[in-house]
Every structure is written in C-alpha cells, then in structure tokens.
Amino acid sequence: MFEQLGLIGCGLMGGSFALALKRAGLVKRVVGYSKSPSTTERARQMGVIDIEAPSALLAVSGADIVLLAVPVAATEATLKAIRHLVTKDMLIMDVGSTKRDVIDSARRVLRDHIGSFVPCHPVAGKEVSGVENADPELYVGKQVIVTPIDRTAPTQLEHAVRVWEELGCQVLKMAPEEHDAAFAAVSHLPHLIAFALINGVAGQEHGQDYFSLAGPGFRDFTRIAASDPKMWRDILLANQHELLAQCRVFERSLHAMEALIESGDAEALEGLIGKASDARAQWRMGTKR
Ligand code: NAP
C-alpha cells in the first residue's frame, strides 16, 4: 500500500492508472498535476485525483510512488522539474510508448537517483485521449513492458512489477532497444501507414465519395488514424531510427507485391497473399514469447 501517488499528466493513461490504483486499494491519496490547470481541476472533479498540485514538483512532494504520464517529449522537462525531491525510496515510473529516449532523459537528469526510475510501457490505450476517457479497467488483462537498465534498483523494479500485476497486468521485461525495435514494427509503422493511407484517400478529388463507400475492413484498418496528433508526432520522432528501418522493410514488401500486380503474375501474387494470411492466422494476440 502506498501513501501517496504523485501523478504528472492527468490524461487517459495517468487518470486510468490513478483510478485503478484507488480501486485496488493500493494508495491512500493521489496528488495530480497537468499542464493546464483546467485538466487538473477536471481530474479532481471526476475523483481521479484527490488534490490538485500547482506544479510537478509539488505533486511529487510527499509521494512514495510517482507516475509520469505525459507525452514522451515532455519527459526530460518533467524530470528536471521534480529531480530535487526524488529520493532513493521513491518509485518513479513512466508509461511512454518509446523507451530509449525516455531512458536517455532519465540518465541525464536523475543521475545518482536513476535507480528509482523504472521505465514502463503498458500496451493498453485508446485512440481517444484526455482524462474524460480515463477508465479503471484500461490496464486489466494487458501487457506491460518494463525495460530496466543496469542501474535500476532491484527493489524498485520488484515494486513496479508488483503494482502492475496487482492491477491485473502481465509484466514482460525487455531491453529498451529490443522494445523500440519491436514497437516500431507492430505499433509505430502501422500508425504511420494508417495516417498516410487516410491522407492519401482524403487528398484525392473523389476521396470523400470513396470514404462513403468504405466497409468494415477499411474501418478496422484505419481506426488508429484517429489517434492524438501531438502524441503520435512525438512517438514517431522519438523512435525515428527504428521506425525508418521498418519503413524500408515495408516498402520492400509493398514493392514486391506491386511488381507482381504489374506483371500479372497471379500465382506468385497468390503465394504472397497466402504467406501473409498464414502468418496472420498463426499470430495470437497476447501470446507470450
Ligand atoms: P493524454 O490523455 O493527452 O494525457 C497527457 C497528459 O499529460 C495531459 O493531461 C496533459 O495535460 C499532460 N501534459 C502534457 N505535457 C505536460 C507537461 N509538460 N507537464 C505536465 N503535464 C503535461 O495522453 P495519454 O494517452 O494519456 O498519453 C500519455 C503517455 O502515455 C504518452 O507518453 C504516450 O506515449 C503513452 N501511451 C499512450 C497510449 C494510448 O493509447 N493513448 C498507450 C500507451 C502509452 P493537458 O491536458 O493540460 O494538456
């Protein structure tokens, strides 16, 4: 049981964590801070937090657990704002979708207190953001990737794993590099393709007419294109290197199929579609490695 959660970023992910922690009886009080005072006030009105803090530093004051749930590009500034109150007994976690950039920021800013920081990425979320969409069920049954580094304190790592498990999550440990490479392939590239596909259709002369004819396949395929633009701008730029490598892989795969369509090679085209169909059928959501 924690005395006080210092929540920085009272949006979808942070708000959901606070609600889940409260519902599980794991925290006595939640002190929250967000960039806009109106967000923090709304979080208090909704019962997501108990006390509004006027700064990130004051949200951390007296906390034994801290969650950073801000856009990944805001991590370094947030850590700078709180570093004077960080102690070795405090558990600090984040929920950022990329890990190498977040860890680099934490190394630069926290220095001797880096051991308190356990980098986390809950593989949960929605394409809608904001505290209005916070949901205590968001994390139940989901995977959380933790990417400890050599200096992460074993006790804080243990605490972090236990907290997520108490919220009903399956915790998986990975190296930060391995995390960013994998999520470039299965999250960042698919979002990029969805954004580009929608823009491509919308930008055509008859694009709106085409949208009106689209069926459930198009709806499923493009659902993630409705995601928050600022959050995704940050993620795509933060994982630039791995994402561009996955773009090359995708381009090669697309060009191979384009070439078969151009040449009318029905047998080879069927072969590639069959390969994809088999791989998709074998893939099981949530399968552990
Ligand atoms: P969100 O609903 O927009 O919440 C972000 C919150 O951070 C907002 O309350 C925002 O405040 C606050 N904020 C922004 N900059 C800040 C700063 N400099 N200092 C303090 N607060 C700041 O976004 P979210 O979906 O919860 O995403 C949060 C993090 O979770 C991101 O790092 C994202 O990569 C990660 N994540 C998201 C998902 C998903 O599906 N959404 C999944 C996995 C991981 P204002 O309201 O005042 O702007």
pLDDT tens digits, 230-269: 999 999 999 999 999 999 999 999 999 999 999 999 999 9
In the chain, domain spans? 2-174, 178-282
pLDDT in tens, 116-130: 999 999 999 888 999
Question: Is 96's C-beta closer than 6 angstroms to any atom of ligand 1?
Answer: yes
Out of 66, 75, 95, 186, mutate this one to test ligand 1's pocket (max ligand atoms within 8 Å of CB): namely 95
| Residue 59, ligand 1, Cβ within 6 A | no
Q: Do domains 2-174 and 178-282 have the same CATH topology?
A: no
Judge if the beta carbon of residue 207 lies within 6 A of ligand 1.
no
For residues 102 and 119, the answer to whether their CB atoms sit within 8 Å is yes
Where do runs of H (alpha helix) occur along the chain?
12-23, 37-45, 56-60, 75-82, 100-110, 154-166, 176-183, 189-202, 207-213, 216-222, 229-238, 240-263, 266-282
In the reported structure, the alpha carbon of residue 161 is separated from the centroid of ligand 1 by a whole-number distance in angstroms of 22
Residue 286 has pLDDT above 50, yes or no: no
The CATH number of 178-282, from 3.30.9.100, 3.40.630.30, 1.10.3660.10, 1.10.10.10, is 1.10.3660.10
Residue 81 CA: which ligand 1 atom is closest?
19
> Is residue 209 pLDDT above 90, yes or no?
yes
- The per-residue pLDDT for 57 is 98
Helix axis angle for 100-110 and 176-183, nearest 10°, is 150
pLDDT tens, 44-91?
999 999 999 999 999 999 999 999 999 999 999 999 999 999 999 999
For the cut 60, the answer to whether the pLDDT of residue 288 exceeds it is no
Cα 24 to ligand 1 centroid, rounded to whole Å = 23
Confidence of residue 285 (pLDDT cuts 50, 70, 90): low
User: How would residue 112 be classed by pLDDT, with cut points 50, 70 and 90?
Assistant: very high
* Burial (0-12, 13-18, 19+ Cβ within 10 Å), 200: exposed
Q: What percent of the chain has pLDDT over 70?
A: 98
| Interval 173-190 mean pLDDT | 98
CA 106 to ligand 1 center in whole angstroms: 17
In the numeric block, the tokens 């990975």 are attached to: 174
What gap in Å lies between CA 196 and CA 264, rounded to an integer? 26
CA–CA gap between residue 117 and residue 94 (Å, rounded): 8
Ligand 1 atom closest to residue 14's alpha carbon, by position in its atom list: 26
| Residue 78 Cβ < 6 Å to ligand 1 | yes
Q: How many angstroms is it from 71 CA to the middle of ligand 1?
A: 5
Q: Indicate whether 289 pLDDT > 50.
A: no
| Neighbour tally for 37: CB within 10 Å | 11
Average pLDDT over residues 139-164: 98
Confidence check: pLDDT of 287 > 90: no
Decide: 9 in ligand 1 pocket, CB within 6 A: yes
Residue 57 Cα to chain centre, angstroms: 23
Give the whole-angstrom CA distance, residue 242 versus residue 198.
23
Query: Quick one: pLDDT at residue 1?
Result: 87
- Percentage of the chain with pLDDT > 90? 96
Q: Which of 97, 186, 188 for a ligand 1 pocket mutation test, highest count of atoms within 8 Å of Cβ?
A: 97
What architecture does CATH give domain 2-174? 3-Layer(aba) Sandwich (3.40)
Output the pLDDT for position 91: 98
Section 107-119 average pLDDT: 97
Q: What is the mean pLDDT of the chain?
A: 96
Ligand 1 centroid distance, CA of 131 (Å): 9
